[in-house]
Amino acid sequence: QQQVKQSPQSLIVQKGGISIINCAYENTAFDYFPWYQQFPGKGPALLIAIRPDVSEKKEGRFTISFNKSAKQFSLHIMDSQPGDSATYFCAASNSSNYQLIWGAGTKLIIKP
Amino acid sequence: ETGVTQSPTHLIKTRGQQVTLRCSSQSGHNTVSWYQQALGQGPQFIFQYYREEENGRGNFPPRFSGLQFPNYSSELNVNALELDDSALYLCASSLGLGTQYFGPGTRLTVL
């Protein structure tokens, strides 16, 4: 019940296209859902996060969509750029402790 | 304002040895969480320290232990190293129990 399932494992998108990464969770006690971006040899960097009281949150080219009834959330990267090429992780936690449970990651490659 | 720093950057140990990894939290942050990230996988929560007290632990054996100091820096100690302990160890700091900001990690290789 603690798992977070992430798909796809890898994704290739043309420059300017939309990248979409999906995650599903099981624990209904989770109420904090961040997305992190990680470049090789670096620690994860927080991109954007959402709480279940909203269905969508947008920051620049990054949008999280959240479906509470389906226990799913997704990251959309609009106008994808080669600099967006990285591994993306979704995570989930209860806001009483923020002890993050992570997805397995999606390696995103943006082709010029 | 300085970010989260970790030392050392890389470390090579042999099976059975002990290792200590260090983390300095971001200025003003009083909570540190440690994660283990095996190659090609997502991070796994090890434990969290809030105001010098352990505030939760993941599914890791007791040979993984930690400390948080009065300046909120932290150590992760691993005894009796096993080959499967080879991973990137990540430290994250936060203000209270909130959004976590990660350091660059320590790459541990166990031979």
Read off the pLDDT of residues B26-67 as tens digits, 9 standing for 90 and up.
Answer: 988 999 999 999 998 999 999 999 989 999 999 999 999 999
Question: Rounded CA gap, A110 and B82, in Å?
Answer: 37
Question: Rounded CA gap, B50 and B33, in Å?
Answer: 9
Q: What is the mean pLDDT of residues A81-93?
A: 96
Which of A46, A95, A97 faces B48 most closely, judged by CB atoms? A97
pLDDT, position B2: 67
Question: Rounded CA gap, B9 and B15, in Å?
Answer: 19
pLDDT, position B96: 82
Q: What is the mean pLDDT of residues A22-44?
A: 94
> Do A98 and B100 form a contact (C-beta atoms < 8 A)?
yes
Which of B35, B100, B103 faces A98 most closely, judged by CB atoms? B100
Question: Rounded CA gap, A104 and A23, in Å?
Answer: 10
Q: For residue B7, give Cα distances in angstroms to B20, B49, B59.
A: 9, 18, 24
Q: What is the mean pLDDT of residues A32-60?
A: 93
- Report the range of poorest mean pLDDT among A58-62, A96-100, B55-59: A96-100
Which of B55, B90, B94 faces A43 most closely, judged by CB atoms? B90
Q: For residue A3, give Cα distances in angstroms to A19, A27, B43, B50.
A: 23, 8, 12, 24
Residue A86 has pLDDT above 90, yes or no: yes
Does the beta carbon of B43 lie under 8 angstroms from any beta carbon of chain A? yes
Q: What is the mean pLDDT of residues A37-59?
A: 93
pLDDT, position B103: 95
Residue of chain A with shortest Cα separation from B9: A41
Q: How confident is the model at residue A97 (pLDDT cuts 50, 70, 90)?
A: confident
B45/A42 Cβ within 8 A: no
pLDDT, position A1: 57
Complete DSSP assignment for B24-61: EPPTT--EEEEEEE-TTS--EEEEEEETTEEEEE-S--
pLDDT, position B97: 77
Which of A4, A43, A99 faces B48 most closely, judged by CB atoms? A99
Residue that wins the pLDDT comparison between B40 and B24: B24
Residue B11 has pLDDT above 60, yes or no: yes
Question: Rounded CA gap, B26 and B53, in Å?
Answer: 18
Chain A residues whose C-beta sits inside 8 Å of any chain B C-beta: 4, 6, 34, 36, 41-46, 49, 89, 91, 95-105
Q: What is the pLDDT of residues B54-107, one digit of tens each?
A: 999 999 999 999 999 998 999 999 999 999 999 999 999 998 878 899 999 999
Residue B105 C-alpha, separation from nearest chain A C-alpha, in angstroms:
6
Residue A17 has pLDDT above 80, yes or no: yes
Q: Which of A99, A101, A106 is the best mutation test for B, with the most CBs of B within 10 A?
A: A99
Q: B57 φ, ψ to 5°?
A: -145, 140
pLDDT, position A95: 83
Q: What is the mean pLDDT of residues A96-109?
A: 92
pLDDT, position B79: 97
Complete DSSP assignment for A3-28: -EEEE-SEEEEETTS-EEEEEEE--T
B105/A105 Cβ within 8 A: no
